[in-house]
């Protein structure tokens, strides 16, 4: 199979390879503190490696999909206090993705998909989807590996909080890059005192609140990685590839208007 890295082609070859139906996938990760047990590049590794797996599997079944170089430096201001976190402020990141979108309009492609590995990017990328749609007419989408909190069945009950350095994320990195994980340093870091609140929820409830990762304690982790394991990570990875390929297929057929 030929490379699906768009920038490995020459300019003319890229213009010839792309069509109005081509899908460009742009990984967005983060370089940020993930506790003592995970590397700074955790979210970047997930975005980069899983998106590559998804694009290659989709291309192998004939989808017109291409990978762009990703953004490792993104919006990690919730971890600004921790050594090693490298972050862009919201205005910088929004301006960057808008500039990338503008550049895409010089190609035949009309569809841009962010493959995101960092929850802190989601709100901003949702804003970017509309900016890029309104300014440049691109079809824009946001997808990711879908890291969810441990439910007490597949790993410990993280009470909805396992979103940063927890069971799923740590298991995924143990699958992708086991050399970078030190599970002996993992603990259970769950803010139990707010788990039963009715309205103010940490993630996805009716009332949101502003937070920094050290608001919940000095570890800067939100989750329980103590039972993380590579086998669960491999299962998550396989699911991410399967779901990612199916998602791209749906994106390929997506139109805002019904067919005439």
Residue 78 in contact with Zn ion, rule: CB under 5 A: no
CB-side neighbour CA atoms (13 Å) of 60? 10
Q: Which is nearer to Zn ion, 42 or 247 (CB)?
A: 42
Closest to Zn ion by CB, 58 or 240 = 240
Closer to Zn ion by Cβ: residue 93 or 104: 93
Residues in contact with Zn ion, counted by CB under 5 A, come to a total of 2
CB of 163 to Zn ion, least distance (A): 8
What is d(CA 232, CA 208) in angstroms, rounded to the nearest whole number? Answer: 30
Q: Which is nearer to Zn ion, 39 or 108 (CB)?
A: 39
* Interface region with Zn ion, contact rule CB under 5 A, candidates 37-45, 78-86, 223-231, 251-259: 37-45
Strand-pair category, 111-116 with 65-67: unpaired
Strand partners, 116: 28, 144
Of residues 42 and 171, the one with the C-beta less far from Zn ion: 42
36-44, 85-93, 134-142, 252-260 -> range binding Zn ion (CB under 5 A): 36-44
Handedness of CA 129, 143, 73, 58 (dihedral sign): negative
Listing DSSP states for 42-104 in one string gives: HHHHHHHHHHHHHHHHHHHTT--EEEPP-B-SB--GGGTTSTT-BB--HHHHHHHHHHHHHHH
39-52 in b/e burial notation, b at 16+ Cβ within 10 A? bbbbbbbbbbbbbb
Nearer to Zn ion, 79 or 159 (CB): 79
Residue 249, C-beta contacts closer than 8 angstroms, at least 6 positions apart: 58, 63
Q: How far is the CB of 114 from Zn ion (least distance, A)?
A: 16
- Sole binder of Zn ion in the list 6, 18, 22, 43 (CB under 5 A): 43
Which region, judged by CB under 5 A, interacts with Zn ion, from 39-47, 64-72, 81-89, 152-160?
39-47
Q: Which stretch binds Zn ion (CB under 5 A): 12-20, 34-42, 151-159, 221-229?
A: 34-42
Interacting residues with Zn ion (CB under 5 A) = 42-43
């Amino acid at each position: 199979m030929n490379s699906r890295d768009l920038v490995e082609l020459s300019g003319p070859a890229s213009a010839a390879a792309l069509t109005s139906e081509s899908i460009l996938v742009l990984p967005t990760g983060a370089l940020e503190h993930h506790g003592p047990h995970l590397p700074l590049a955790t979210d970047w590794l997930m975005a980069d490696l899983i998106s590559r797996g998804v694009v290659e599997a989709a291309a192998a079944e004939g989808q017109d999909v291409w990978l762009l170089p990703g953004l490792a430096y993104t919006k990690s201001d919730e971890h600004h206090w921790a050594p090693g976190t490298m972050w862009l402020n919201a205005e910088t990141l929004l301006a960057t993705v808008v500039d990338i979108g503008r550049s895409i309009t010089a190609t035949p492609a009309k569809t841009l998909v962010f493959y995101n590995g960092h929850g802190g990017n989601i709100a901003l990328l949702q804003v970017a989807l509309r900016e890029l749609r309104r300014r440049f007419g691109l079809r824009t989408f946001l997808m990711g590996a879908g890291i969810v909190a441990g439910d007490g069945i597949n790993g410990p009950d993280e009470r909805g909080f396992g979103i940063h350095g927890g069971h799923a994320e740590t298991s995924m990195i143990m699958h992708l890059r086991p050399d970078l994980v030190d599970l002996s340093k993992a603990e259970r870091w769950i803010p139990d005192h707010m788990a039963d609140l009715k309205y103010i929820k940490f993630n996805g409830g009716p009332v949101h609140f502003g937070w920094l990762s050290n608001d919940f304690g000095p570890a800067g982790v939100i989750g329980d990685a103590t039972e993380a394991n590579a086998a669960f990570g491999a299962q998550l990875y396989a699911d991410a590839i399967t779901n990612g390929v199916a998602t791209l297929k749906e994106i390929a057929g997506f139109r805002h208007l019904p067919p005439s």
